[in-house]
Chain A
Amino acid sequence: MKSELKESLGYIFFKNPVLVLGLIIGHLAAGDTNLQNAAALSITFFFVTVPVMLFASTIGKKIPAGFNLVCYALFSAAMLVPAYSLSGSISATIFDSSGIYPALLAVSTVPIIYSSKIAEKQTPIKAIFSGLCITAGFIITAVILGAAREFLGSGSLWGFKLADAIYPAAKLPFWGFILLGFMAAIVNWIKEIFKKSEKGEEEGA
């Protein structure tokens, strides 16, 4: 039980879907250029991941292999409607201004292949918890990247002007790839520190 909880919590940081597993990179590199885009992507990610994991843990494992992918894709596509409605209640334009990237999350690797495979082996409660942890990992990455790019690219946060733009090119995809690369390296560095401290504790004991 404790190890399962630890494994699920690991999706937030040590098995972060973007920075450690290298999934859903494109949405963030090209689509996450400010905090509003990060919000639209995060809301959509929640709606396409958690319900699909619940679906996979209950009905999905009974669907014949080969057809489950279709069911997950159609189910996550249907989840775009509540995601669009909730995004609209925060700001009328955040879903539309994020371009095609929130909608693309419906067929991204995480909801239809990665997380659904995890959920098929879990009970519904565990699947929901794992889904929430995977979503938390995505949201942390999206918010940090979106805030950094908005501040560097236009000197603002959530549209509020704080300073002059430092580096307008920060909104271009290449900058997103490079920034994500450095964020992934920081995660590796922290993992190394944890590994060393755990090793030290074992040797001390």
Chain B
Amino acid sequence: MSYIFQFLTMMLTALFVENIIFTRALGTSWMFYLTKRPGEIIKYTLLLTGVTTVSGLIGYPLNGILHGSAMRHVLVPVMYIAVMAVVYIAAYLLIKKFLPEKFENLGINLGTAVFNCAALGTLLIPANARFDLITTLGYGIGMSLGFGFAAIVVAYGLTRLEYCRVPKIFRGIPIALIYLGLLSLAFYGLVGHQLPT
């Protein structure tokens, strides 16, 4: 029972308090890409969740071995990227063999869902903090779901902004970044932080 509680607590912490986009700013570029294709947000979030969960399970024991190394700041990311490569190749071959009709559609999504900052960041934060396996998995799933949540919120806001009279030089990337900054500030206050003085 305590494991379930620990898992859920960490998942909710990662989802809201340490949201992957609003607090950590991981995978922001891909989130902007997905806001133009809202239909793909859920599919992408599920792929990201799967990748981080499987890579987290494989990488967890290897992280324990590397953590004592003096070059752990570089070896741990390299190890996780290698693990992600193995997961990608396995998923690629399995989908090609068993779901050939979905293969064409999944090709680029699978690659971008595996190799991106959101996936690697979700694995590196618990690895550096030396979380246990249950916490690592809860954190990974919470971060991935947090990505989907943030993408939906930002996509909705950017759609509304299209109907506003934004000055010409602020259209596109500038207004999207300022909007994301204001959302990030709102989230910072919402979860109970105070601005440093």
Which residues of A are at the interface with B, using a C-beta cutoff of 8 A? 19-27, 29-31, 65-67, 69-70, 73-74, 77-78, 80-81, 83-84, 95-96, 100, 103-104, 106-109, 112-113, 168-169, 171-178, 180-182, 184-186, 188-189, 192
Contact = CB atoms under 8 A, between A and B. Distances in A.
A112 B108 CA distance: 12
Contact of A185 (B30, B74, B174): B174
A81 B181 contact: no
Contact of B29 (A20, A81, A109): A109
B119 A107 contact: yes
Nearest to A74: B85
Contact of B111 (A19, A66, A180, A181): A66
Contact of A107 (B120, B128, B178, B188): B120
B117 to A, nearest CB: 4
A52 B92 CA distance: 23
A73 B116 CA distance: 9
B169 A66 contact: no
A30 B188 CA distance: 13
Interface of B: 21-30, 32, 71, 73-74, 76-78, 81-82, 84-85, 88-89, 92, 107, 111-112, 115-117, 119-121, 124-125, 128, 168-178, 180-182, 184-185, 188, 195-197
Contacts of B184: 172-174, 177
Given A77-B82, A100-B124, A104-B120, A24 B29 contact: yes
A152 B171 CA distance: 27
B181 to A, nearest CB: 3
B88 to A, nearest CB: 6
Nearest to A175: B181
Contacts of B92: 66
Contacts of A181: 170, 173-178, 180-181
B28 A169 contact: no
Give the most central of A22, A176, A189: most B CB within 10 Å. A22
Given A77-B77, A100-B125, A177-B180, A26 B175 contact: no
24 contacts: A22-B29, A26-B27, A30-B24, A30-B26, A66-B111, A73-B81, A73-B84, A73-B115, A77-B82, A80-B74, A80-B77, A81-B78, A84-B71, A103-B76, A103-B120, A104-B77, A106-B120, A107-B84, A107-B119, A113-B112, A173-B184, A177-B180, A181-B176, A185-B174
B85 A177 contact: no
B128 A182 contact: no
A1 B121 CA distance: 40
Contacts of A65: 107
B113 to A, nearest CB: 11
A132 B147 CA distance: 32
B28 A178 contact: no
B178 A22 contact: no
Given A22-B173, A30-B25, A109-B116, A177 B181 contact: yes
A67 B114 CA distance: 12
A177 B77 contact: no
Contact of B115 (A30, A112, A176, A184): A112
B128 A100 contact: yes
9 closest pairs, A vs B, by CB? A177-B181, A181-B177, A178-B181, A103-B77, A174-B184, A26-B25, A30-B25, A181-B178, A26-B28
